[in-house]
Amino acid sequence: MSTTGTDQITPETAPAITEQSTAEPDTYPYVLRGVDPREVRADGNSREVGDVRKRRPELVASVAEHGVNPMVSIINVAPAPEDGVLDVLVGFHRHAAAVEVKGLENPDLTIDVLVHAPGTTRQDILVAQGIENFHREGFSPTEEAGLYEQLALAGLGDDAIAQKLTRPVERVRAGRAVAATPRTREAGDTVPNTDLLVLAQLSESADDEKAHDELVAVLERAPHDFEWKLGQLRRRRDQHAKKAEEEQRLVEQGYALLDNAYDLPEGTARLDKLCTGDDETPLDPAEHRACPGRAAVVDVDPGLTVRITELCTGFAAHGHRTIDSVRVAAAEDQLRADGVPVADPDAEGAVQLRELFADETAERPLTVDEHAGCPGHAAYAEIRWSSVDIHYVCTDYSAHGHILRTSPTAQPEPDPAFKSAEIKRAAANNKLWREAKADRREWLAKYFHGWRKRKPADLPARVHHWLALAPVLANDYLEEAAPANRYACTLLKLGEPEGYRRDSNPLVVHLRKKSTTESQAVLIRLAQVIGACEQHWDRAYTESAGDQDEDDEADGDDGDGDPQMA
């Protein structure tokens, strides 16, 4: 607070020093007595004072009753070089309490201050404040971050700040990262018990409001899950960055980009589903790059493996055909060559032979040979699971004296919008499943890190119960993983199993060591069970099952198959 209506306070104009003083008025530092607290300026403190009556009511009450007793604590000040006004160096809360009391409880209150030499540098002031505040209760991580920021602005580097304040340099860097991100500093006030190093990790997501809010919510509700959530968001960020990099590369090569490979615009298909002419050989991506319809979908899995699906938009206009249509056309040509007319499956009155009796006396459905001489004999071809199915029909069964096996029932037409929504939902769930697998395996890797040094007390009793259940509940997975137990070896970092000799398996080799403890043996067994369960999800029929629906959509499947839900 600047001086108003009075002369500036300097050593030359200071009141006389009593016998309690330990220095002469012109020798620094010295005690200046009888100072109006309102005439002392309190700016630039890294520790926020705020409403001192609300935050420190006990301090205000003490100052109102006893004043600021220099025998207990004293406010440190220094004359500012530019105007000579005394600036608080240390004791901001005591000074704020004195100003409050001066204005309400005791208008006659004065304080004694310890005056340091004028010209004290900003660095010196901040260092003094910081050293004091580190020993004060309630010095929050965001206030600590603000201190490091101010010292950096005063010209100190991270190493110098760490040395002057005797703080780890990693903590200084973390504080500066927090101070540089207003969103994280604001969030730090909502989670005041969060360590500065954690807030620095939070600041990584400052540019992504949604991710930042997710992490803050975790710190508020379940801080023990912060590392897991942070790892998940980091991986997603890496995935997005990798995807953007690949997409930019493709755009520069003239590709159009599509969001996914399963909900495609009309006239668009994957290259592995297209061919040229009557040749069923799928289009070669290298040869297709000159086509005006070249397009691609980029997908990056949690392991940052890039998968590029190449497509052609408006493929018919560019001289391409679907392999399925070529196969159907070939089947129809063969039907005609065999003297069988090609039927329209949607024509009124056309019914498949398996649904017809020859007449009222028949006891079984019509066969192809029995129906071959009927004037309504015909067939059509359709694709089912990438193969051609031939369906024989009678084009007008009632006119030719046939009888329906059962009364016809109206078959509801599949809703394309519903089917498309189900495919999208399945794709989203499958993506979440793959991300969850990556999260789980990252956590498992951390859990088994340093397993050789674990002690028996580190293992919960329920682990032994769970291991006793495993041969019963997970027996099929254990059989699949045996005898190599590859993923268990990966978890324990024992090396990749080689050959077929069981006695050379890394697990066996380690268990036969005399130095292997009982705890290590239990952890090896735990890794075997967990590894067997995890290894199951690497098998082709489980890992790729979630992608089948996307292929079905691209193949034009009729929707009889249920989408794979994660």
At residue 408, the pLDDT reads 55
What is the residue-averaged pLDDT of the chain?
Answer: 84
90 located within any domain: yes
Cβ(400)–Cβ(394) below 8 Å: yes
Tokens of 252: 């520069």
523 located within any domain: yes
CA–CA separation, 382 and 331 (whole Å): 9
495 located within any domain: yes
Backbone angles phi, psi at 500, to 5 degrees: -115, -5
Residue 50 in this model has a pLDDT that exceeds 60: yes
Instruction: Examine the domain organization and report whether 275 and 375 are in the same domain.
Output: no
At residue 346, the pLDDT reads 85
Cβ(491)–Cβ(527) below 8 Å: yes
Instruction: Examine the domain organization and report whether 314 and 432 are in the same domain.
Output: no
Q: How many CA atoms lie within 13 A of 24 on its CB side?
A: 3
- Residue with the two structure tokens 């999800």: 537
Pairing label, strands 86-90, 351-352: unpaired
Instruction: Examine the domain organization and report whether 16 and 131 are in the same domain.
Output: yes
Q: What percent of the chain has pLDDT over 70?
A: 87
Taking alpha carbons only, the member of 163, 262, 201, 338 closest to residue 550 is 262
At residue 25, the pLDDT reads 53
Residue 265, C-beta contacts closer than 8 angstroms, at least 6 positions apart: 258, 313
Give residue 524's identity as a one-letter amino acid code: I
How far, CA to CA in Å, does 433 sit from each of 384, 426, 437, 542?
28, 10, 6, 11
- Residue with the two structure tokens 């009124």: 348
Cβ(57)–Cβ(104) below 8 Å: no
Quickly count: other Cβ atoms within 10 Å of residue 486's Cβ: 16
429-432 long-range contacts, CB within 8 A, separation 24+ = 429/546, 429/565, 429/566, 430/546, 430/547, 430/564, 430/566, 432/566
Output DSSP code: residue 495.
-
Tokens of 61: 């009450």
Instruction: Examine the domain organization and report whether 401 and 495 are in the same domain.
Output: no
Instruction: Examine the domain organization and report whether 529 and 441 are in the same domain.
Output: yes
Instruction: Examine the domain organization and report whether 534 and 434 are in the same domain.
Output: yes
Residue 542 in this model has a pLDDT that exceeds 80: no
Residue 560 in this model has a pLDDT that exceeds 70: no
177 located within any domain: no
Instruction: Examine the domain organization and report whether 18 and 133 are in the same domain.
Output: yes
At residue 410, the pLDDT reads 56
Cβ(267)–Cβ(313) below 8 Å: yes
Instruction: Give mean pLDDT, residues 377-391.
Output: 91
Backbone angles phi, psi at 466, to 5 degrees: -65, -40
pLDDT-wise least confident of 13-27, 54-68, 141-155, 332-346? 13-27
For 148-164, how does the pLDDT look when each residue is reduced to its tens digit (9 = 90+)?
Answer: 988 898 888 999 999 98
Give start and end residues of each alpha helix (H) in 108-225. 122-133, 141-153, 158-165, 169-179, 182-190, 196-203, 209-221
Instruction: Examine the domain organization and report whether 280 and 359 are in the same domain.
Output: no
Give residue 127's identity as a one-letter amino acid code: V
96 located within any domain: yes
pLDDT band at 73 (very low <50, low <70, confident <90, very high): confident
Instruction: Examine the domain organization and report whether 72 and 120 are in the same domain.
Output: yes
175 located within any domain: no
Give start and end residues of each alpha helix (H) in 353-505. 368-371, 416-447, 461-473, 475-481, 486-492
Quickly count: other Cβ atoms within 10 Å of residue 134's Cβ: 14
- pTM, full prediction: 0.59
Instruction: Examine the domain organization and report whether 407 and 433 are in the same domain.
Output: no
Give residue 126's identity as a one-letter amino acid code: L
CA–CA separation, 528 and 466 (whole Å): 13
Angle (CA) 542-545-549 rounded to 5° is 170
Write the DSSP assignment of 56-116 as a string of letters.
Answer: -HHHHHHHHHH---TTT--EEEEE-TTT--EEEEE-HHHHHHHHHHHHTT-TT--EEEEEP
150 located within any domain: no
Residue 20 in this model has a pLDDT that exceeds 50: no
Residue 44 in this model has a pLDDT that exceeds 80: no
Q: How many domains, in total, are found in the chain? A: 4
For 433-477, how does the pLDDT look when each residue is reduced to its tens digit (9 = 90+)?
Answer: 888 888 888 889 888 988 888 776 677 778 888 888 998 988 889
At residue 544, the pLDDT reads 52
The side-by-side arrangement of strands in the sheet containing 377-384 is 351-352, 387-394, 377-384
Most confident of 51-55, 276-280, 537-541, 555-559: 276-280
Instruction: Give mean pLDDT, residues 222-237.
Output: 90
187 located within any domain: no
pLDDT band at 550 (very low <50, low <70, confident <90, very high): very low
Write the DSSP assignment of 233-244 as a string of letters.
Answer: HHHHHHHHHHHH
Write the DSSP assignment of 135-158 as a string of letters.
Answer: TSTT--HHHHHHHHHHHHHTT--H
Q: What percent of the chain has pLDDT over 90?
A: 39
Most confident of 118-132, 364-378, 432-446: 364-378
Instruction: Examine the domain organization and report whether 130 and 89 are in the same domain.
Output: yes
CA–CA separation, 471 and 323 (whole Å): 48
Instruction: Examine the domain organization and report whether 130 and 17 are in the same domain.
Output: yes
Please give the residue range of the domain that contains residue 61.
11-139
Quickly count: other Cβ atoms within 10 Å of residue 89's Cβ: 25
CA–CA separation, 196 and 130 (whole Å): 15
Residue 158, C-beta contacts closer than 8 angstroms, at least 6 positions apart: 152, 169, 172, 173, 176
Residue 390 in this model has a pLDDT that exceeds 90: yes
Tokens of 225: 């899950």
